[in-house]
Amino acid sequence: MNEDSQIVVPPSFMALFVPPGGVKPRESRLHITERYEFCEDLAQMLTDTASTKLFELSVTEADVLERIHRGLLVEGAPVDAAEARWVVTRLAELLGWPAPD
């Protein structure tokens, strides 16, 4: 991938890389785009898991999202805490579920 990539990174993801009170991301466009692609793919992949857990566990959508979020926060996870939150919010969006608090 190069700096000329035509992938559009949504503002909600770009905001993860802008320090509080800042306007410019602290990482390169390339890095942010790579992380976005990874997190978007992760959210897409988790849709089947989330739907299955909702059925298997007979819990609420919020409970499923919370469990997935906790799983994304374990040591050694491939995402940091901010990315984990974004992935779970995106997952809810993909499933048409209410966004987590």
Q: Could you read off the pLDDT of 53-88 as tens digits, one per residue?
A: 999 999 999 999 999 999 999 999 999 999 999 999
pLDDT at 86: 98
Per-residue model confidence as pLDDT tens digits over 38-47: 999 999 999 9
Sign of CA dihedral 77, 79, 84, 90: negative
Residue 96 zone, left/alpha/beta (φ > 0; ψ -120 to 50; rest)? left
pLDDT beyond 90 at 4: no
DSSP state of 26: S
CB 37 within 8 A of CB 30: no
Structure tokens at 83: 């990315």
Counting beta carbons within 10 angstroms of the beta carbon of residue 70, is it exposed (0 to 12), middle (13 to 18) or buried (19 or more)?
exposed
Rounded distance, CA 52 to CA 19, Å?
37
